[in-house]
Amino acid sequence: MAVDFRCAVHGSVFWGCVVILSNVLCPIDAYLYNNRYAGDQVFRITPSNEGEVRELKKLLGNIKVDLWQPNSASLIRHNATVDVHVRRNNTRGLRACLQKEHIDFKVFISNLQKEIEKQTGYRSSRKRRSESQYDYEVYHSLEEIQSWMFEINRTHPHLVDMFSIGRSYEGRPLYVLQALHSYQHDSVMRRLINQLNFYIMPVFNVDGYIFSWTTDRFWRKTRSKNAKYHCRGVDANRNWKVKWCEEGASSHPCDDTYCGPFPESEPEVKAVAKFLRKHKKRVKAYVSIHAYAQMLLYPYSYKYATIPNFNCVESAAHNAVTALYSAYGVRYRYGPASTTLYVSSGSSMDWAYRNGIPYAFAFELRDTGYFGFLLPEALINPTCTETMRAVKTISSGLLKKCETGMYQLDRERYPYL
């Protein structure tokens, strides 16, 4: 089971730490940014008709903004909320224009710098280096996460194996943890780990991690390789070779949804794709974790169509969100990504499914926009706990044969679906 994590969770118990490891990114100390986000605001805008959608797209096209949800102006729809980060020198103008056009909005983060500092202001006093001192309820730097991985591998070689599958654009190793045989008292977890292979890729884009701040919008962009445009780089989740650079992706280097010059152009994407191709006969499920929206998605993302093993995957998703809900009563929507979220081409989830991995999912974790990409550290543990219940449920389902027979039949006929 391959797990690609880029989310706001850490494990609260050992096995959970291995499977749910990475986090929404934070700078090591907010002051390093010289108050660059002071006065920046995040607007929540809700156009009520097609006319307002057109006007909103025009407005956002005239100023430099960072779209949080959706991640491209082309995906803005009426009666759907739009979360947008606006620089301080543009907030007053945008507010005036929205009021003039009678487009409904509210400011739900009035000072972005202060919200970032809430997550990072007291980091220096925390003990983070060794396994025994590692705090699973705070956000960590890449160096701290990798140090923990080395320590876990050193002290528990019978439980986990650690290896590199390649290097990033800037030469950083791309580490993977593999959960080995389990000796835990939990018989279900022991059976899962003994019968399934868990590969954990905790940080998909290490260069973006190093140079980014809290938002998933920035961190999933690989480092820029386009000196002409001086842009942020390629969206790693739109760089996969499945309907590459079609709907929901952009060919312009300065767009947030830039798909890259060609499929698998990014060394990070290429390394993971090569690894999954090599092990695809053993990989039964692929889980990619993002923030935010409280959704559990499955293929297809690039088109409105029903996957061949829909009944099996739909049942697994339903059971997973039910298990998740049982922890704290948090509700997740679930369904095909194209209809539940939006159409997007070149995603790793679709790629995994098209390359023979029968269960491919993408989590969009907490929340639905109140905190957005700035989920407080106090919510790490409950988010991890509930998500672990969902992942455990999906994993348990892999040990049972789905009775519909749909996938077995279609896989013989269409081996690369």
Which residues are catalytically annotated? 364
Cα-trace Rg, the chain: 21
Asked whether 240 and 341 are in contact (CB, 8 A), the reply is: no
Alpha helices (H) in 67-213, listed in sequence order: 88-100, 112-120, 142-155, 187-195, 206-211
Alpha helices (H) in 198-309, listed in sequence order: 206-211, 216-219, 267-279
Beta strands 82-86 and 359-365: pairing type?
A: unpaired
Dihedral (CA of 333, 374, 383, 347) sign: positive
- For residues 255 and 183, what is the distance between their CA atoms, to the nearest angstrom? 48
CA 217 to chain CA centroid, nearest Å: 10
In degrees rounded to 5, what are phi and psi of residue 330?
Answer: -85, 130
Q: Cβ contacts of residue 86 below 8 Å, gap of 6+?
A: 40, 41, 42, 43, 63, 65, 94
- For residues 333 and 378, what is the distance between their CA atoms, to the nearest angstrom? 23
Q: Cβ contacts of residue 65 below 8 Å, gap of 6+?
A: 84, 85, 86, 87, 90
- For residues 417 and 412, what is the distance between their CA atoms, to the nearest angstrom? 10
Tokens 């022991």, residue? 190
- For residues 285 and 199, what is the distance between their CA atoms, to the nearest angstrom? 10
